[in-house]
Chains A and B, each alone.
Chain A
Amino acid sequence: MRRAPLAALPLALGCGSRSSRGPEIGCLDVAAEAGLDLRTVCGDPDKPYIVDSLGTGAAFLDFDGDGLPDIFLSNGSRLGGYPRGEEPLPRFFRNAGNGSFVPVVTGVERPGWWQGCAAGDLDGDGDPDLLATSIDGPALWRNGGGTFRDATVPAGLSHHAWGASASPADLDLDGDLDLYLAGYVRFDRAKTPRDCPWKGVKGFCGPMGLLAEADRYFRNEGDGTFVEASEACGLGVRDPLYGLGVVASDLDGDGAPDVYVADDSTENLLFWNRGDGRFEEGALFAGAAYSRDGVPQSGMGVDAGDADGDGDMDLFVTNFESDHSTLYRNLGGRRFADVSAETGLEVASYLPLGWGTRFLDFDHDGDLDLFEANGHVYPQVDAVPGLSYRQRNHLYRNEGGRFEEVGGACGPAFGVKEGNRAAAFADMEGDGDVDVLVTRIDGRPALLRNDGASSVPWIRLRLFGTRSNREGIGALCVLQAGGRLQRLEARSDGSFFAASEPVPHFGLGSAAGAEWVEVRWPSGRRDRADGLAAFRTYRVVEGAGFFPGGLGLRN
């Protein structure tokens, strides 16, 4: 699609002047013109129960292998259900490559109260599969060349539990993608009270006081089946917590992905990967379980990224209203510190209630910014002075280690107040900048097109694992440009209820290209290239090196 020239977007130019604050960027919601018109539902609009409040998920995945990320939107239901034939259904939208998305029937259109999404080539056959969580257990849809079939039962994933976000990652380093599913609440309507007081209004009750659902780790056996191995591998806890967000990231730099879970109302969990297929929980001693004050927050979304450019992955967790989202700086030695106050995020993120999030270099200046989707859980808070159910999304620009909320100045899309929830990330047009798909509870999604950043040098890496998993999920990509080192992991997980394009995307600032790039695969193998030109997507094939062009898995 031809974009509106920047001169025609006066509202989209306010993120700072190029001379002093980096490149000018803007953002427009193009969902309507792109044809992304699915109105999703999540329970009763008054949200009398917790189950009504979380919203639905979204995924960017190239299901048809044409190199362009397509869109999956999960859809919910309501207590009591819908008459047959009238149920809301999840949908796929094929990226037509001209800026529009076309609804297509792929086999996933099954009624349910679907929520989170995980995307990855789980069976290693060269195309991404899709796992959707629901309040009644997950569904695994296996991709067979652009159409999906339900493989939940034969894959061994069938169970009845409220799952939230899910992470596909090669946790046992055997070359295929395993699954970690965050469990939320054991919801029983008959045993759930209503009308709990909150700041003078009555909202739904929970999660505190309700039974928590256990997280589950499913190990990929490599033959199309999974085995639940939570306890056997040390990925279980004695008392389940209210898991919502999950990210698998190599937090201690030992080459094995660790698992971090953002838990609602209780402490967060961090499972250190011992490298032998077993894990040990250590969030408390790592300083990443609570806020600086030792207070359990309400973790919703989560991501990992090298926010301070010191070579290790930091963590960001979105939390409840009147409580800041938390940036945990990785200090090394399996230690983190809550640096929300020092980095300006304590104040900037304090008022809204955060959900989907991701570290991304939105403006291509060479450091990681942060996106945060916001929206309250209680519609009733509109009666509370100073609070609102619908909230605007935030974009925190990284200014030398301090984060400044600049979304409001980045175009009208950031000024819209909605019940935002999941956020998925991809370069939907392949034009060299990262766009954002945001679901809105009981509404149509927003598709935030990044305008402006693609004019600033960038490099994208589309990975093709040979010994490692096919998409190279978990690979660490290190790039040096202008003398500055950057590190990104290839991941589709993180955020909240979302799956993103697992394509590391580097902004190069004023550098014309990268001095060198190295991909450190989960298998341990390394591929390196020197002198890469900017404004290009490179295919990196494990063991074979770098190639220009970034087509999909099948190409």
Chain B
Amino acid sequence: MRFPLAGMAFLLLQVGRPSTGNPDLERGLALLESGKAAEAIPHLRKGAADLPALPAASFYLGKALLLAGDPREAKETLSRAAGGAPLVPAVRLALGQAAAASGEFDEAEHAFKKAFELRSSDPAPLLEWGEVELRRAVFAEARDAFSRAETVAPGQPRALRGLGEASLGLMDLGAAEGAFRRALEARPDDGAALLGLGKTLLRRGDLEGAAVALFDAEENLPRDAEVAYQLGHLAAREGRRREAIGWHRVALQRDPAHPGALYALGQALLEAGEIEEGRGALGLFRGRKVLYDSVYTISLLAADAPADPELRESLVLCSVALGDLSRARRELEALGRLRPAWREDPRLDAVALCLEGRFEEALPRLKSVLPEGGTTGRAILEEVAARAAAGKGGERGR
């Protein structure tokens, strides 16, 4: 969540800290200011209920909800705040952030534009708007937003980096290279800008330049899977097959769920004549694709049928297999509301073991209950088996 509490003082200044004497609101604000958003919510909720005409109460409740990871309720709450305080840019900015986090990109765009209209000296809404456009791949709009942010406050690495990413999305490689280089002038150790520059130069065929940028990125982002993955591609382009395999392995160590790295590793191994291992990697890759596709399709179905426990159960199983344990827990909670006796289900009993990282124990139980021959079931078993073999169930890096 892009929402540093360091900005809180600024926001308080703009909205005005309520001095209502309402003890719940005061207590909630204090907790929020000390970074305890989840704890602040009950107090702020009560305060906002006591003072429905005070936009600031809704604003802080909305902020707390957003920080606590409930963007949908945050958006509703912040909409009420914006209704009561339509000219306060901070409220619009927060509303935009909540809308963006909810996937409501049109609403987010509108809110960010409004926030910028209200305070055109502040590039923050433009930066947020640019990020939204990057997320929905409208790169021309993203470039426009970051360009305007750059005009308002020249030389900001975030705006320049965004400009580079937007230009890369438009395959305008000259502009992308220029923007990333300017971002690096402002901050030479900006790992993300170095990575962006490396990717750009790789696409331009400037392998020497790409190598410099990517190795610098590796120094500054030593745990980044994407950097290692791009270094793998660079090595492959330069014909250094063994090195490519090595980098793709590193990328997978850093993020076991990096789909590109798993695919590239499999292909590189096959190229190197390591047929069995290469096919194994690609088999795992294919299974993972099946699971991602299943999650996508089931999510669509579940949106239409939120009370269907079978769909929730499938999501739990797929999420566990993909190592997305936080989603698995979330879906399991939802399932618990639909089917309180879920623990009696042997499949979910095995899931509970997975959530504790006990994949080796879970595997035989899952094998006994998942249907033989089903594509998704097979993919789940392969993933759990791989995690059991690895002896760890590490939460997927994201």
Query: Chain A residues in contact with chain B, CB under 8 A?
Result: 197, 199-200, 208-209, 238-239, 266-267, 284-285, 287, 290, 292-296, 322, 331, 335, 337, 341-342, 346-347, 350-351, 384-387
Choose among B171, B233, B270 the residue that contacts A285 (Cβ–Cβ < 8 A).
Answer: B270
Cα distance, A335 to B268, chains bound together (Å): 11
Interface flag for B260 (CB, 8 Å):
yes
Q: 11 other contacts beyond A284-B285, A384-B141, A385-B138, with CB at 8 A cut-off? A: A199-B137, A200-B106, A284-B286, A292-B233, A293-B264, A294-B259, A341-B205, A342-B205, A346-B203, A351-B171, A387-B140
Complex A-B, nearest 5 residue pairs according to Cβ-Cβ distance, in ascending order: A294-B263, A386-B140, A385-B140, A350-B171, A293-B260
Contact yes or no, A287 B169, CB < 8 A: no
> Given the complex, which residues of B lie within 8 Å of A347, measured CB to CB?
171, 173, 203
Contact yes or no, A335 B140, CB < 8 A: no
Choose among A200, A267, A284 the residue that contacts B138 (Cβ–Cβ < 8 A).
Answer: A200
Q: Would you give the shortest CB distance from B338 to chain A, in whole angstroms?
A: 23
> Given the complex, which residues of A lie within 8 Å of B106, measured CB to CB?
200
> Given the complex, which residues of B lie within 8 Å of A351, measured CB to CB?
170-171
> Given the complex, which residues of A lie within 8 Å of B205, measured CB to CB?
341-342
Main secondary structure of the interface of B (DSSP, over half): helix
Contact yes or no, A386 B170, CB < 8 A: yes
Residues A294 and B285 in contact in the complex (CB < 8 Å), given A239-B375, A346-B203: yes
Residues A209 and B137 in contact in the complex (CB < 8 Å), given A294-B263, A342-B205, A385-B144: no
Interface flag for B297 (CB, 8 Å):
yes
Determine the residue in chain A with the shortest Cβ distance to B304. A193
Question: Can you name 17 A-B pairs with beta carbons within 8 Å?
Answer: A200-B109, A200-B141, A208-B297, A238-B375, A284-B285, A284-B286, A285-B282, A287-B267, A290-B263, A293-B263, A294-B260, A322-B139, A341-B203, A346-B203, A347-B203, A384-B138, A385-B140
> Given the complex, which residues of B lie within 8 Å of A384, measured CB to CB?
138, 140-141
Contact yes or no, A294 B264, CB < 8 A: yes
Determine the residue in chain A with the shortest Cβ distance to B140. A386
Interface flag for B136 (CB, 8 Å):
yes
Residues A335 and B271 in contact in the complex (CB < 8 Å), given A294-B285, A322-B137, A385-B138: yes
Cα distance, A425 to B224, chains bound together (Å): 48
> Given the complex, which residues of A lie within 8 Å of B262, measured CB to CB?
294
The residue among A266, A337, A347 with the most chain B CB atoms within 10 A of its own CB is: A347
> Given the complex, which residues of B lie within 8 Å of A294, measured CB to CB?
259-260, 262-264, 285
Contact yes or no, A296 B289, CB < 8 A: yes
Contact yes or no, A209 B297, CB < 8 A: yes
> Given the complex, which residues of A lie within 8 Å of B105, measured CB to CB?
197, 200
Contact yes or no, A335 B270, CB < 8 A: yes
- B259-301: CB near A (< 8 Å → 1, else 0) gives 1101110010011000000110010011001000100110010
Interface flag for B193 (CB, 8 Å):
no
Cα distance, A384 to B286, chains bound together (Å): 34
Contact yes or no, A208 B279, CB < 8 A: no
Cα distance, A200 to B113, chains bound together (Å): 15
Q: Would you give the shortest CB distance from B161 to chain A, in whole angstroms?
A: 20
Cα distance, A351 to B282, chains bound together (Å): 29
The residue among B109, B267, B271 with the most chain A CB atoms within 10 A of its own CB is: B267
The B89-144 residues at the A interface (CB cut-off 8 A) are 105-106, 109, 136-141, 144
> Given the complex, which residues of B lie within 8 Å of A385, measured CB to CB?
138, 140-141, 144
Contact yes or no, A386 B139, CB < 8 A: yes
Q: Would you give the shortest CB distance from B131 to chain A, in whole angstroms?
A: 14
Contact yes or no, B138 A199, CB < 8 A: yes
> Given the complex, which residues of B lie within 8 Å of A293, measured CB to CB?
260, 263-264
Interface flag for B237 (CB, 8 Å):
yes
Q: Would you give the shortest CB distance from A297 to chain B, in whole angstroms?
A: 13
Q: Would you give the shortest CB distance from A81 to chain B, in whole angstroms?
A: 29
> Given the complex, which residues of A lie within 8 Å of B278, measured CB to CB?
285
Determine the residue in chain B with the shortest Cβ distance to A200. B138
Q: Would you give the shortest CB distance from A322 to chain B, in whole angstroms?
A: 6
Q: Would you give the shortest CB distance from A434 to chain B, in whole angstroms?
A: 29
Cα distance, A290 to B173, chains bound together (Å): 23
Cα distance, A350 to B202, chains bound together (Å): 16
Q: Would you give the shortest CB distance from A373 to chain B, in whole angstroms?
A: 20
> Given the complex, which residues of A lie within 8 Å of B259, measured CB to CB?
294-295
> Given the complex, which residues of A lie within 8 Å of B293, measured CB to CB?
266
Cα distance, A239 to B297, chains bound together (Å): 14
